[in-house]
Amino acid sequence: MKTVTILGATGSVGTSTLDLIERAPENFRVVALTANCDVARLADAARRTQAELAVVADESCLADLTAALAGTDTRAAAGAQAVCEAAALGADWTMAAIVGGAGLKPVMAALEQGRTVALANKESLVSAGDVMMSAAAAHGATLLPVDSEHNAIFQCLEDRNRDAVRRVILTASGGPFRDRSLDDMRAITPEQAVAHPNWSMGAKISVDSATMMNKGLELIEARHLFGLAPDQLDAIVHRQSVIHSLVEYADGSLLAQLGPADMRVPIAHTLAWPRRMATPMAPLDLAAIGRLDFEAADPVRFPALALARAAMEAGGARPAILNAANEIAVAAFLARRIGFLEIAAIVADTLDTYDPGAPDSLDAVLDVDAGARRIAGERVQARDRSVPS
């Protein structure tokens, strides 16, 4: 029986993970579940799985969680430190699905246990890739990618032929605005931005997909996960989201991984790795799909992709600045404080304004992150549409 911990158990990846675990309860024992402050969903999941520990990051939610777990054997805890302690309990397999920079410390705590970490928090490698990969190597941890694109690359990469990899190509759906003009995109609402055409995801990652920042962050993550050079990484729009990524070798062979647009497929791959497990997904009907289309991303309508590529090539603190500024800008857009096109503009302005030295520790990364958030917040305030003029 494999012991598991789910960091971010009430989000889309966390609930998909729970779905798979609950379909095979004889194979898994849940050590800990964490959430920010969704007490009802966290307590319900803890009851269903008989989790040993449930943690809310928001300390003000502890009383409600304790009450919701009354009569069970599940312990309740709260606070950022308690989340890190849950990550450090040494489960055989830990799902790292906390969204954004809040996931950095828990991911590091899990890696330091030297077990298997299934990584859905791409910000950990975007902001602190060198630090995280060094920690994984030092502690003998196994890092398995959960993002569908990186999981596809992982499945297509042949260890014996790593030196023969010519190029890795990540596919992008193009998001909900792939056919909108730049002028049309000025009036995009949060409701439109979170309505992804292919995937069911949380609000933040859905907006990142709409701006194509998500694909840029994934390029940076792939560089660290697979030890690739920036010129070995590319992205292409593939509307059907059937092919999740491709690996091209020196002999011209191009290997692709195909699968349904459902996160339970890559999650199951990491949950059972190095074996395979069944999922409830119907087999792909290739005849019904009929065709697979590809096109280049438009750099004028989607400048976030170019910003991310430039940050990846520059390295140092640039990816951490990019990620932090984007989180602030996306949150402001979702709160209707700025327009859709202003997200990338604020990220670009923050990158132009802030240029500290390369961070060499997690604390240094967090300092860079804090500085970038402060500057991006000032840029949001200057553009804030909700402030009366």
The per-residue pLDDT for range 290-328, each reduced to its tens digit, is: 999 999 999 999 999 999 999 999 999 999 999 999 999
Q: What is the pLDDT of residue 203?
A: 87
Q: What's the pLDDT tens digit per position in 39-94?
A: 999 999 999 999 999 999 999 999 999 999 999 999 999 999 999 999 999 999 99
DSSP letters, 124-153, are: HHHHHHHHHHHHHHHHT-EEEE-SHHHHHH
* pLDDT classification of 389: cutoffs 50, 70, 90: very low
Q: Which residues pair with 56 in a beta bridge?
A: 35, 78
User: In the prediction, which pLDDT does 253 show?
Assistant: 97
* Mean pLDDT, residues 110-137: 95
What are the CA-CA distances from residue 204 to residues 58, 121, 254, 330 (Å)? 19, 12, 32, 7
135: tokens are 């920690």
- Mean pLDDT of the chain, nearest integer: 95
pLDDT over 70 (residue 284):
yes
| Arch. (CATH architecture) of 2-146 | 3-Layer(aba) Sandwich (3.40)
Specify the CATH number for 316-389; select among 3.60.20.10, 1.25.10.10, 1.10.1740.10, 3.40.228.10: 1.10.1740.10
Question: In this model, does residue 99 exceed pLDDT 90?
Answer: no
Spatial distance between the Cα atoms of 301 and 153, rounded to a whole number of angstroms = 27
Token duo for residue 361: 């520790």
Q: What does each C-alpha distance from 305 to 43, 234, 295, 302, 348 come to in angstroms?
A: 39, 11, 15, 6, 11
pLDDT in tens, 343-364: 999 999 999 999 999 999 999 9
CA distance 118 to 142: 8
pLDDT at site 372: 98
Domain regions of the chain by residue span: 2-146, 152-261+292-313, 316-389
Q: With H, G, I as helix, E, B as strand and everything else as coil, classify residue 358.
A: coil
pTM attached to this predicted model: 0.92
